[in-house]
Amino acid sequence: MEEKEFKEVLIPTTLYKKIEEKIKGTEFSSVSSYVTKILREVLSKEDEKKEVFSKEDEEKVKERLKALGYID
Amino acid sequence: MSKKVFVIGLDSAPAEIVFNQKEKFPNLKKLIDNGIYGNLTSSHPPITIPAWMVMCTSKNPGKLGLYGFRHRKDYSYTNIWIATSESIKEKTIWDVLTEYGKTSCLVSIPPSYPPKKVNGYLISCFITPDAEKDYTYPLELKSEIEGKFGSYKFDVKFRTNEKEKLKEETFHMTEQRFEVIKYLLRNKNWDFFMFVEIGVDRIQHAFWKYMDKEHHLYEPNNKFERIIIDYYKFIDEKIGELLSILDDKTSIIVVSDHGAKRMKGAFCINEWLINEGYLVLKNKPSQITSLENVEVDWTKTKAWGWGGYYARVFLNVEGREIGGIIKPKDFEKEREELAQRIKEIKGPNGEKWETKVFKPSDLYPEYRGDYPDLMVYFDDLYWRSAGTLGHPTLYLPENDTGPDDAVHAQEGIYIIYAPWKNVKERKDAHILDIAPTVLNLMDIPIPEDMEGKPIT
């Protein structure tokens, strides 16, 4: 049986409403999108990896991969 | 008896050349005629990354969490990360060998930048930003190599119309790599040696239409007609030189990470998604441009795609993407419907395509990392995916980002030649089988979690 791609989490209604107000007119399409984004940020800070490439090197490698047809 | 294994990696080499034309390649022929050989089914996707690491870990791409060179960062619409040696979390052949005190010599196996510590020697691969970087283990190997062979050539830029120059550069790069390998063979201690020659892939992409009479852009009696075969003859001669250095306790394995075949064209996935109402732009581009350079109306967009030798398609889902609009409860239904519609896409003349569409769960028992929602092989990979926008048609006869004549094929090749064995057989195998085969040839226990079986 395939694991579901999404699972529900419950948050207090007051917090939900606060977020609903906050994201009005922003790029966030839903409270779920906002909560997911914030949680990802928190978790990725905890899990911060050493960056392999400097910004300049990353651009260089991306350009090369584009030129090689792996990215476009 | 100390059993050693020497692996010759020919990126993208297909059976149609290596096996079907073996009479032209005496050294490869000797290995084929005196060993076990056959097709080697590649990973899904059959792309350099992840395929070489699937081979070297005997783990499927879902387990590795690698689905190509780039991946989305945290479901961002635009931010990506590039796979490097640091992305490989599973044990490789050489990690296992280290536990048994065996030494390895590894040359340009993708991805091997940044160079990781190994019990032996390592030179990194073509994702190395440039030769100024530290690209060897140990560090001092770099100056040793450069002192004898000059600046190390990682790759060539094959998407160019300067074909003569490209040909020269590719032969030159390969020649240098084989000289470096010869030097390492003679001067370093090793139990396991593996290298990948990327030039094979580059020469095929750049010159396939000149060789293949079935290619839609083939021109009879063109001056580049024999370049691919000449390159293979050159490689064969170089392989002969390497074989003459090896002793009779060394098993030889020749492998490719996937095959190659003629490109029929490029299909504009994002243009199609626009036509079908899945992707909505704020402004129509007036010239050919990539999706990251146009303003997408995410409030109306359900899906978008990436180009490459296969297409990755992503759905815009509420709670996952910042501006997601597909409700999670509708995700599976929407994904299934889109998959069906993609499968029904026909060719430019209304011909039926053998398009394959996979969900990660169709391919992998478990899938990690930043996987796409759908993986698409247009017409069984004969049509590559073009991610760019602004084309007057969905079907491009040439690639959208520079000349390219070949695409990837699911079937690669393998040859195993063990001098002390008298087994001659043709049988097909899977890319997952190579790591267990290497360990088996070296009498090293195969870790239980390796997914393949040794070829015997």
A15: tokens are 């917090």
The more confident residue out of B157 and B53 is B53
The residue among B176, B410, B411, B316 whose CA lies nearest residue A28 is B316
CB contact under 8 A, B129 and A53: yes
Residues 377-406 of B with CB under 8 A from A: 384, 386-388, 399-402, 404
Compute the distance between CA of residue B23 and CA of residue B35 in angstroms, rounded to an integer.
16
pLDDT band at A49 (very low <50, low <70, confident <90, very high): low
The residue among B142, B176, B168, B170 whose CA lies nearest residue B155 is B170
Of B298, B321, B331, the CB nearest to A6: B331
CB proximity A2 to B under 8 Å: yes
ipTM here:
0.84
The pTM of the full predicted model, rounded to 2 decimals, is: 0.94
Contact residues, chain B, for A65 at CB < 8 Å: 69-70, 82, 127
pLDDT band at A71 (very low <50, low <70, confident <90, very high): confident
What pLDDT shows up at residue B158? Answer: 83
CB contact under 8 A, B129 and A60: yes
Query: What are the C-alpha distances in Å from B23 to residues B19, B211, B233, B418?
Result: 9, 18, 10, 21
pLDDT at B92 over 60: yes
Average pLDDT across chain A, whole number: 85
Phi then psi for B299, rounded to 5 degrees?
Answer: -75, -15
Compute the distance between CA of residue B389 and CA of residue B292 in angstroms, rounded to an integer.
10
Contact residues, chain B, for A67 at CB < 8 Å: 157, 159, 401-402
What number of other Cβ atoms are within 10 A of residue B274's Cβ? 18
pLDDT band at A48 (very low <50, low <70, confident <90, very high): low
Of B69, B130, B404, the CB nearest to A65: B69
Of B159, B319, B384, the CB nearest to A33: B319
Residues 220-239 of B with CB under 8 A from A: none
Contact residues, chain A, for B325 at CB < 8 Å: 29
Q: Which of A5, A16, A42 to mutate to test the interface with B (most CBs of B within 10 A)?
A: A5
pLDDT at A50 over 90: no
CB contact under 8 A, A68 and B322: no
Average pLDDT across chain B, whole number: 95
What pLDDT shows up at residue B15? Answer: 98
Least confident stretch, A49-63, B133-147, B162-176, B434-448? A49-63
For residue B83, the chain A residue with the least C-alpha distance is A52
Least confident stretch, A12-21, B114-123, B126-135, B420-429? B420-429
CB contact under 8 A, B84 and A6: no
Please check whether residue B27 is in contact with residue B275, taking contact to mean a CB–CB distance below 8 angstroms: no
Residues 7-26 of A with CB under 8 A from B: none
Please check whether residue B50 is in contact with residue B71, taking contact to mean a CB–CB distance below 8 angstroms: no
User: Rounded to a whole number, what is the distance in Å from the CA of B400 to chain A's nearest CA?
Assistant: 8
Residues 35-64 of A with CB under 8 A from B: 35-37, 40, 44, 49-50, 52-53, 57-58, 60-62, 64
Annotate chain B with three-state secondary structure.
CCCEEEEEEECCCCHHHHCCCHHHCHHHHHHHHCCEEEEEECCCCCCHHHHHHHHHHCCCHHHHCCCCCEEECCCCCCCEEECCHHHCCCCCHHHHHHHCCCCEEEECCCCCCCCCCCCEEEECCCCCCCCCCCCEECCCHHHHHHHHHCCCCCCCCCCCCCHHHHHHHHHHHHHHHHHHHHHHHHHCCCCEEEEEECHHHHHHHHHHHHHCCCCCCCCCCCCCCCHHHHHHHHHHHHHHHHHCCCCCCEEEEEECCCEEEECCEEEEHHHHHHHCCCCCECCCCCCCECHHHCCECCCCCCEEEECECCEEEEECEECCECCCCECHHHHHHHHHHHHHHHHCCCCCCCCCCCCEEECHHHHCCCCCCCCCCEEEEHHHHCEEEECCECCCCCEECCCCCCCCCEEEECEEEEEEECCCCCCCEECCEEHHHHHHHHHHHCCCCCCCCCCCCCCC
Compute the distance between CA of residue B128 and CA of residue B142 in angstroms, rounded to an integer.
13
User: Rounded to a whole number, what is the distance in Å from the CA of A25 to chain B's nearest CA?
Assistant: 12
Contact residues, chain A, for B331 at CB < 8 Å: 5-6
- pLDDT by residue (tens digit) across B281-298? 999 898 999 998 999 999
What pLDDT shows up at residue A70? Answer: 82
- Domains, chain B, with CATH or none: 4-261+408-441 (3.40.720.10), 265-403 (no CATH)
Compute the distance between CA of residue B150 and CA of residue B146 in angstroms, rounded to an integer.
4
Of A5, A60, A70, the CB nearest to B130: A60
Contact residues, chain A, for B158 at CB < 8 Å: 68
Strand partners, B259: B409
What number of other Cβ atoms are within 10 A of residue B285's Cβ? 16
What pLDDT shows up at residue A47? Answer: 63
Quick one: average pLDDT of B390-401? 87
pLDDT band at B261 (very low <50, low <70, confident <90, very high): very high
pLDDT at B397 over 80: yes
pLDDT at B400 over 80: no
- pLDDT by residue (tens digit) across B330-388? 999 999 999 999 999 999 999 999 999 999 999 999 999 999 999 999 999 999 999 99
The pLDDT > 90 percentage for chain B reads: 92
Contact residues, chain B, for A36 at CB < 8 Å: 75, 319-320
pLDDT band at B60 (very low <50, low <70, confident <90, very high): very high
CB contact under 8 A, A50 and B86: yes
pLDDT band at B404 (very low <50, low <70, confident <90, very high): confident
Of B82, B309, B321, the CB nearest to A69: B309
Strand partners, B6: B193, B252
Instruction: Write down the domain spans for chain A.
Output: 13-67
Residues 111-140 of B with CB under 8 A from A: 113-114, 126-127, 129-130, 133
What pLDDT shows up at residue A43? Answer: 86
What is the greatest pairwise CA distance in chain B? 69
What pLDDT shows up at residue A1? Answer: 35
Of B155, B308, B319, the CB nearest to A36: B319
What pLDDT shows up at residue B432? Answer: 98
Of A29, A44, A58, the CB nearest to B299: A29
B98: tokens are 């280290």
- pLDDT by residue (tens digit) across B182-209? 999 999 999 999 999 999 999 999 999 9
Quick one: average pLDDT of B51-68? 98
For residue A60, the chain B residue with the least C-alpha distance is B129
Instruction: Tally A–B CB contacts below 8 A.
Output: 113
**Secondary structure of residue A42 in the 3-state scheme:** helix
The pLDDT > 70 percentage for chain A reads: 89
Compute the distance between CA of residue B388 and CA of residue B382 in angstroms, rounded to an integer.
18
CB contact under 8 A, B328 and A6: yes
pLDDT at B453 over 80: yes
